[in-house]
């Protein structure tokens, strides 16, 4: 498949799946659960653009997610912005912060970068808590009184569709970054940054592009969250679980290509959703914990790694 066919195919497939779902599934639970899984696909895909391709571990995914969510809150409070308008603004804000954070911290190598993103997340959290315009610690309400646009029967289905399209977009971007010259430069950074720099790869510029793109996609995934919940408050939107999942999902799926985070997010996200409403109690945390441990110990390169390995072996035999 040529690169230029990839994007149209992803979008077509997404639209077909969405149309199929809307035509056959009436229960709203499917849409809420699927929305959350899709949200994690975007987060994981976005994380992987920086973390998987360059090896820089962003520990503050929750902060970028919240930047998106709170940009929407501001837009809604200002002039009741509709979802399609809130998304690009949220993405732009989170992308700009990604760029700024990149400038400040990309000189830091390895773990120091991870700690810096964690610190940035705490600082942003404190600002949101103390910012009364977006509700501060009390949280903000986005109350959707009108019917959803484009003839959707309810907001959940509408937001699910929007989320599905954003997911397709994120995957297309990830695949583009990976296969373009940019991606090869990023891979060179991951393998040996100094060597890459010496052989003329503009490492700083490439890294800044990837922090910006990654941040923007994360912001995008959070932009619809206030509309989905109709209520946002800082403690849960900055929750550790976003940061953890954004790392764990690519790890489980495999970090070397766009398909890894997709598979990891679908797998872990779905399991979390199912466990939440089946084994509901302290045990659900246990299952997620055990899964994390088992997967990273038994599948060192993620599911994709497993798969590639298996394919390589089959070819040999």
Partner 1 sequence: MEVTADLLVNALISGILLAGFYAAVSVGIGIAFGMLDVVNIAHPAFIVLGAYVAYIAHEMLGADPIVTAFVLSPAFFVLGLVIYRIYYYAFERHGQESLRSLAFFFGILFITEVVLILSFGVDYRLVNTSYSSTTWRVGFVDFPLRLVVPFAVSLAMTLGLHFYFTRTFFGRSVLAVAQDPLALQLMGVNPRRVKELAFALSIATAGVAGAFLIVIQPVQPALGRVFIGLVFAITVLGGLGSITGTMVGAAILGIAESFTATFFGPSWSPAVSFGLLLAALAFKPTGLLGR
Partner 2 sequence: MTRKHPRLAAGLHSAVQLATGLLLAAGLASAHAADPLKIGFGMSMTGPLAGNGKAALLAMEIWRDDVNAKGGLLGRKVEFVTYDDQTNPSTVPGIYNKLLDIDKVDIIMSGYGTNVIAPAIPIAMQRKMVLMSLFGTDVNAKFKYDGYFQIMPNGADPSLGLVNGFFEIAAAMKPKAQTVALVGADAEYPHAALEGARRSVKNHKMKIVYDKTYPPNTTDCAPIIRAIQATNPDVVFVASYPPDSACIVRAANEVGLKTKQFGGPMIGLGYAALKTQLGPLLNGMTSWELYVPEPTIKFPFIKEFLAKYQPRAATEKLDPLGFYLPPYAYAQMQIVGEAIQKVGSLDQGKIAKYIHANKFSTVVGDVSFAKNGEWAVGRPLYVQYRGIVGNDLEQWKQPGKAVVVWPASLKSGEHRYPYDQNRK
Does 198 engage in binding with partner 2 (CB under 8 A)? no
- 73: which residues sit within 8 A by CB, 6+ positions away? 134, 135, 140, 142, 226, 232
Scanning residues 92 to 151, which ones bind partner 1 (CB under 8 A)? 104-105, 107-112, 115-116, 118-123, 125-127, 129-130
For residues 245 and 269, the answer to whether their CB atoms sit within 8 Å is yes
Q: Tell me which residue has tokens 């975007």.
A: 42
Q: Taking Cα atoms as reference points, which of 224, 218, 223 lies closest to residue 157?
A: 224
Q: What gap in Å lies between CA 119 and CA 263, rounded to an integer?
A: 29
| 7 contributes a contact to partner 2 by CB under 8 A | no
State how far the Cα of 51 lies from the Cα of 192, in Å rounded to an integer. 15
The answer to whether residues 301 and 251 touch, using CB atoms and an 8 Å cutoff, is: no
Map residues 214-243 to x or -, x wherever contact with partner 1 holds by CB under 8 A: --------------------------x---
d(CA 78, CA 76): 5
List the single partner that 17 binds among partner 1, partner 2, none, CB under 5 to 8 Å by kind. partner 2
Cβ distance to partner 2 smaller for residue 69 or 208:
69
Which residue's structure tokens are 């999902």?
249
**The pair of three-digit structure tokens given for residue 236, joined into one six-digit string:** 């849960």
Q: Is 144 in the site for partner 2 (CB under 8 A)?
A: yes
- Interface map 37-76 toward partner 1 (x if CB under 8 A): --------------x---x-x-------------------
Q: Rounded to the nearest whole angstrom, what is the least distance from the CB of residue 33 to partner 2 in the complex?
A: 6
> Which entry of partner 2, partner 1, none binds 15, CB below 5 to 8 A by partner kind?
none
Judged by CB under 8 A, the number of residues near partner 2 is 58
CA distance from start to end of the chain? 26
Among 277, 290, 293, 294, binds partner 2 (CB under 8 A): 277
Contact between 307 and partner 2 per CB under 8 A: yes
Dihedral sign of CA atoms 172, 175, 179, 180 in order: positive
Positions 33 through 72 that interact with partner 2 (CB under 8 A) = 33-34, 36-37
The region of 19-27, 47-55, 89-97, 198-206 touching partner 2 under the rule CB under 8 A is 19-27
Question: Could you say whether residue 166 binds partner 2 (CB under 8 A)?
Answer: no
- The rounded Cα 109 to chain-centroid distance in angstroms is 23
With 0-12 CB in 10 A as exposed, 13-18 as middle and 19+ as buried, what is 310?
exposed
Residues of span 284-303 touching partner 1 by CB under 8 A: 285-286, 288-293, 295-297, 300
- Residues contacting 45, CB < 8 A, separation 6+: 167, 170, 171, 174, 217, 258, 261, 262, 265
Q: Which residues make up the interface to partner 1 (CB under 8 A)?
A: 51, 55, 57, 104-105, 107-112, 115-116, 118-123, 125-127, 129-130, 240, 244, 247-248, 251-252, 282-283, 285-286, 288-293, 295-297, 300
Give the footprint of partner 2 on this chain (CB under 8 A).
Answer: 1, 9, 13, 17, 21, 25, 27-34, 36-37, 126, 129-130, 136-139, 141, 143-144, 154, 156, 225, 228-231, 233, 235-237, 239, 241, 257, 259, 262-263, 266-267, 270, 273-274, 276-277, 280-282, 284-285, 304, 307, 311
């Amino acid at each position: 498949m040529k690169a230029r066919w990839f994007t149209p195919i992803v979008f077509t497939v997404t639209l077909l799946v969405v149309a199929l779902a809307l035509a056959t599934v009436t229960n709203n639970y499917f849409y809420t659960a699927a929305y959350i899984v899709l949200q994690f696909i975007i987060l994981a895909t976005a994380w992987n653009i920086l973390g998987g391709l360059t090896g820089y571990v962003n520990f503050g995914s929750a902060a970028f997610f919240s930047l998106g969510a709170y940009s929407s809150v501001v837009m809604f409070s200002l002039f009741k912005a509709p979802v399609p308008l809130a998304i690009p603004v949220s993405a732009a804000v989170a992308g700009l912060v990604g760029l700024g954070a990149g400038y400040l911290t990309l000189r830091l190598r390895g773990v120091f970068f991870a700690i810096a993103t964690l610190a940035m997340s705490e600082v942003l959290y404190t600002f949101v808590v103390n910012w009364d315009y977006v509700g501060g610690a009390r949280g903000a309400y986005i109350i959707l009184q009108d019917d959803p646009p484009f003839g959707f029967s309810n907001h959940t289905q509408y937001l699910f569709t929007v989320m599905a399209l954003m997911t397709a977009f994120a995957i297309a971007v990830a695949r583009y970054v990976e296969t373009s010259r940019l991606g090869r430069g990023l891979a060179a950074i991951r393998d040996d940054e100094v060597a890459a720099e010496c052989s003329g790869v503009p490492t700083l510029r490439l890294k800044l592009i990837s922090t910006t793109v990654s941040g923007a996609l994360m912001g995008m995934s959070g932009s619809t969250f206030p509309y989905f919940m109709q209520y946002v408050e800082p403690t849960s939107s900055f929750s550790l679980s976003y940061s953890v999942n954004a790392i764990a999902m690519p790890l489980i799926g495999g970090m070397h290509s766009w398909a890894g985070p997709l598979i990891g997010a679908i797998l872990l996200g779905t399991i979390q959703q199912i466990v939440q409403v089946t084994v509901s109690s302290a045990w659900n945390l246990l299952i997620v914990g055990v899964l994390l441990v088992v997967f990273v110990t038994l599948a060192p390169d993620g599911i994709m790694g497993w798969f590639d390995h298996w394919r390589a072996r089959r070819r040999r035999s």
